[in-house]
Amino acid sequence: GDDAAAAAVASRQDTLTKPQGSLGRLEEIAAWLARWQRCAMPKLDRVKVFVFAGNHGVTAQGVSAFPSEVTVQMVANFSSGGAAINQLARIAGADLAVIPLDLDHPTGDFTQAPAMDTQAFLAAVSAGYEAVSGDLDLICLGEMGIGNTTPAAAISAALFGGDVRQWTGRGTGVDDAGLNRKVAAIEAGLKRHATALADPLAVAAALGGRELAAILGATLAARHRNIPVLLDGFVCSAAVAPLGRLHPTGLSHAIAAHVSAEAGHRHLLEALSLPPLLDLGMRLGEASGACLAVNLVRSALECHQRMASFAEAGVSEK
Amino acid sequence: GDDAAAAAVASRQDTLTKPQGSLGRLEEIAAWLARWQRCAMPKLDRVKVFVFAGNHGVTAQGVSAFPSEVTVQMVANFSSGGAAINQLARIAGADLAVIPLDLDHPTGDFTQAPAMDTQAFLAAVSAGYEAVSGDLDLICLGEMGIGNTTPAAAISAALFGGDVRQWTGRGTGVDDAGLNRKVAAIEAGLKRHATALADPLAVAAALGGRELAAILGATLAARHRNIPVLLDGFVCSAAVAPLGRLHPTGLSHAIAAHVSAEAGHRHLLEALSLPPLLDLGMRLGEASGACLAVNLVRSALECHQRMASFAEAGVSEK
C-alpha cells in the first residue's frame, strides 16, 4: 500500500469542517481507498461486483437444504435480473459479472477425495485472477454454490483449528440432522486430508471449491492491480483466508463488508483481524453484503473530496 | 401502523428467490416501511433530511470544546454545501432542509433556570411539526447545536436514571476537565428541576433545547402523516426519548439509523428498544448517520419490489 497517499488523506480529513475523527470508519475507508489505489484523491468511477458460482461434490453427504441444481437455476436468475444481487448492484451503481465455473462438473466429495487436484484448483484461481481488469476502482466479491458453507467451514477449521461445530452453521437452512451431517462430513474431510493441512493453498484445493478458489484469485489480482476489495460473507471470507494465513498483510487491501448470520463468520473475521462494516443479520451470499457497503465507501469518498475545510468555510476551530 | 400491509410484505418476502429470512434486517425494513406508510408496496420517491439547529445557555458552564458561534457558522456551511451532511444527502438521493431555531437567543442555562418555558418549548415543537409535509416517503432527523450533548445527556439521565457519568460523553471532544464540568452541570440541572422530572415533556422543556424539541415535533408529525423516520445519533435519540416514555409504541415508526461513538448512545438505544442499523464509530450529528442508512432502506425496498419469486424464476425450493 501507499503510506504517503493514506497519510495525505488523514491530514486532509483533520482540516475538514467536523470534529476530528467524527466520521469514524468513513475516515478510515477514505484512507484505505487512497492506500490501495495508490492515490491521495481516489475515485469510484468503476465499481464491479463479481459473483463466482460452483458446484460441490460434498452435497452427496446431505449437507444442504436445497438441491444442487439450484446453483445453475440461480445463475439463470442472475442473468434475467431477478435475484437480490441484481437489485443491490443497481442501487450501488456497480456493474455485475456472474462467472459460473464448470457447473456440470462438481468438485470431488472431500470426504472421499480432494475437492480439486492442483490443475483444477489453479484453473479456478486463474479464472478469478483474469476476471479482474486493471481499470476498476473497487470490486465486490461474492459467490453462489449450493453446499458451499460446508467447504467454507472446513477451510476455516483447517486453517484456524478448534471445534468443528464452532465453524459450522445452517447455511441456507438445514435442520439439526443436516447440521450433524455437515459436522461429520467436515470432520471426515479434515481427517482424510490431514497431511495437506499445513499449507493454506493445499487446504483451499483439498477442502474448498471452484468459486472459492476464483475469489482467492480475484483478491490476488486486485492486490497486484491496486484495486481495493469488499468481501462478502462467510464463504467469501473463508475463500480468502488462505491469503491471510500466507502473509500477515495478505488481506490488507480488503475490508469485510459485513458479518453474516452464518455461525462461523464472526469468529472467522476475528481470526483474520477484519472488523466488519455492517451487521444486519444477512446470510444470502451473492456478494449482497459487499454490495450494500459500496454506498458507505462512496459516502466516505464524497465527504473526503467535497467537504469544506474550517478555513474555507470560516468556521472557528477549538 | 398497518398490520395487514406489514404482513403482506412478509408473505411476499417468503416467496422471493433467497432462503427465507436471509436478507436479515433488510426484510424487517421493508415490512416497517409498509407498516408506517400504510401500503403493501411502499415507495421512496421523496426522502428528506431535516437538520434543526439551536444554541444552548448551558455552554456558559464550559461544556463544549467549540465556541457557540460555530452553530451559526455551520448553518452557513450547510447553506454553501461544505458540510458532511451536504455530501451524504446528495449520495442518499435526499433533499436537505436546514432549520435554524432562534440562534441569536440561546436557551436558558438549565443549571440556573429552565432551558425553555412552555411557550418557547411549544414553539420549537411546532417548528418541527410544521416542517414535515405529508408528501414525504421517509425522513431523516438530525441536529446541529454547540453544547447539545449536554442537554441530551441530561434528558437521558432524567428519563432513565442511573449515574450521570454513564450518559455523559466528550461530545465534539472536551478534555477530562470539560467532561467533569458537563457532569457537574447535568447534576445541577437535575437537582434544580427535580420536581419536573416525572413528566417527559417537562423534562424536554427544562433540560432540552430548541433543536431537540423540533425533532420531537417532526417525529410526531411523521407519525400522524404516515412517514417512517430514520433517527440520527445521541442528541436525536434523546430528543425523541420523551415520546418513548409517554407511550410504549411512541417510537415504533422510527428506526435508529446508527449507534454513535458518543458515550451514552448505546445505552440510550437499549433503553428505548431501538437496535441500530449501523455502528461505524461516528459522532458528528447533522443527520449524518441517518442519511447513511437511507441506502439500506432503498436496497431493502428494491429487493422487495423487484426480486423474482421461486415460481417466476423456475428455481427449485427446499
Partner residue opposite B19 with nearest CB, options A91, A173, A313: A173
Active site residues of B: 286
Number of residue pairs across A and B with CB atoms under 8 Å? Answer: 182
Q: Which residues of chain A have pLDDT under 50?
A: none
Per residue in B82-131, pLDDT (tens digit) is 999 999 999 999 999 999 999 999 999 999 999 999 999 999 999 999 99
CB spacing of B303 vs A261 below 8 angstroms = no
CB spacing of B306 vs A88 below 8 angstroms = no
Query: What's the gap in Å between the CA of B128 and the closest CA on chain A?
Result: 25
B251-256 mean pLDDT: 98
Length of chain B: 318
What integer pLDDT is reported at residue A115 of this predicted model? 98
Provide the ipTM. 0.97
Residue among B147, B57, B47 nearest B95 (CA): B47
DSSP per residue, B30-93: HHHHHHHHT-SS---S-EEEEEEE---GGGGGS--SS-THHHHHHHHHHHHT-SHHHHHHHHHT
Residue among B151, B312, B140 nearest B239 (CA): B151
CB spacing of A302 vs B87 below 8 angstroms = yes
What integer pLDDT is reported at residue A275 of this predicted model? 98
Residues of chain A found within 8 Å of residue B26, distances taken between Cβ atoms = 280, 282
On whether the CB atoms of residues B196 and B203 are closer than 8 A, the answer is yes
Q: What span, in angstroms and rounded, lies between the C-alpha atoms of A142 and A90?
A: 16
Partner residue opposite B22 with nearest CB, options A81, A86, A284: A284
Query: What's the gap in Å between the CA of A197 and the closest CA on chain B?
Result: 32
Residue A30 located in a structural domain? no
Partner residue opposite B279 with nearest CB, options A80, A279, A316: A279
Residue B14 located in a structural domain? no
- HSE toward the beta carbon, residue B34, CA cutoff 13 A: 23
Query: What's the gap in Å between the CA of B277 and the closest CA on chain A?
Result: 7
Q: A57: which DSSP letter?
A: G
Query: What's the gap in Å between the CA of A202 and the closest CA on chain B?
Result: 31
Length of chain A: 318
Residue A177 neighbours by CB distance under 10 Å = 9
Per residue in B272-309, pLDDT (tens digit) is 999 999 999 999 999 999 999 999 999 999 999 999 99
Instruction: Report residue A58 CA to chain centroid gap.
Output: 22
| Phi, psi dihedrals of residue B15, rounded to the nearest 5° | -95, -10
Query: What's the gap in Å between the CA of B19 and the closest CA on chain A?
Result: 6
What integer pLDDT is reported at residue B317 of this predicted model? 85
Residue B82 located in a structural domain? yes
Q: How many structural domains comprise chain B?
A: 1
Residues of chain A found within 8 Å of residue B81, distances taken between Cβ atoms = 306, 308
> SS3 of A128, please?
helix
Residue among B192, B186, B126 nearest B156 (CA): B186
On whether the CB atoms of residues A183 and A165 are closer than 8 A, the answer is yes
Residue A285 neighbours by CB distance under 10 Å = 32
> SS3 of A12, please?
helix
Going from the C-alpha of A167 to that of each of A177, A265, A271, the distances in angstroms are 16, 8, 12
Residue among B296, B254, B311 nearest B23 (CA): B296
Q: Which residue of B has its CA nearest to A18?
A: B284
Residues of chain B found within 8 Å of residue A73, distances taken between Cβ atoms = 313-316
- HSE toward the beta carbon, residue A3, CA cutoff 13 A: 0
CB spacing of B299 vs A292 below 8 angstroms = yes
What integer pLDDT is reported at residue A317 of this predicted model? 85
What integer pLDDT is reported at residue B318 of this predicted model? 77
Residues of chain B found within 8 Å of residue A313, distances taken between Cβ atoms = 73, 76-77, 80, 82-83
Going from the C-alpha of B195 to that of each of B187, B200, B203, the distances in angstroms are 14, 12, 10
Q: List the Cα angle B177/B183/B184 in 5-degree steps.
A: 90
Residue A15 located in a structural domain? no
Residue A304 located in a structural domain? no
Helix or strand (DSSP H, E) at A142: strand A138-144
Determine the straight-line distance between the first and last CA of chain B, rounded to whole angstroms: 33
In a mutational test of the A interface, the residue from B295, B304, B309, B310 whose CB has the highest number of chain A CBs within 10 Å is B295
Residue A63 maps to which CATH number?
A: 3.40.50.10210
In a mutational test of the A interface, the residue from B259, B303, B309, B312 whose CB has the highest number of chain A CBs within 10 Å is B303
Q: Which residue of A has its CA nearest to B91?
A: A299
Active site residues of A: 286
| Phi, psi dihedrals of residue B120, rounded to the nearest 5° | -65, -40
Residues of chain A found within 8 Å of residue B316, distances taken between Cβ atoms = 66-67, 69-70, 73
Q: Which residue of B has its CA nearest to A66?
A: B318
Residue A250 located in a structural domain? yes
> SS3 of A273, please?
coil
> SS3 of A308, please?
coil
Helix or strand (DSSP H, E) at B140: strand B138-144
What integer pLDDT is reported at residue A178 of this predicted model? 96
CB spacing of B90 vs A302 below 8 angstroms = yes
Q: Which residue of B has its CA nearest to A277?
A: B280
Residue A12 located in a structural domain? no
Q: What span, in angstroms and rounded, lies between the C-alpha atoms of B16 and B10?
A: 10
| Phi, psi dihedrals of residue A113, rounded to the nearest 5° | -160, 170
Query: What's the gap in Å between the CA of B23 and the closest CA on chain A?
Result: 5
CB spacing of B277 vs A282 below 8 angstroms = no
Per residue in B160-185, pLDDT (tens digit) is 999 999 999 999 999 999 999 999 99
Proportion of chain B in helix, strand, coil states, percent, rounded to 5: 50, 10, 40
CB spacing of A282 vs B22 below 8 angstroms = yes
On whether the CB atoms of residues B9 and B304 are closer than 8 A, the answer is yes
Q: Which residue of B has its CA nearest to A315?
A: B73
Q: Which residue of B has its CA nearest to A258?
A: B278
Mean of pLDDT over chain B = 97
Residue B213 located in a structural domain? yes
On whether the CB atoms of residues B78 and B211 are closer than 8 A, the answer is no
Q: Which domain holds residue B272?
A: 43-298
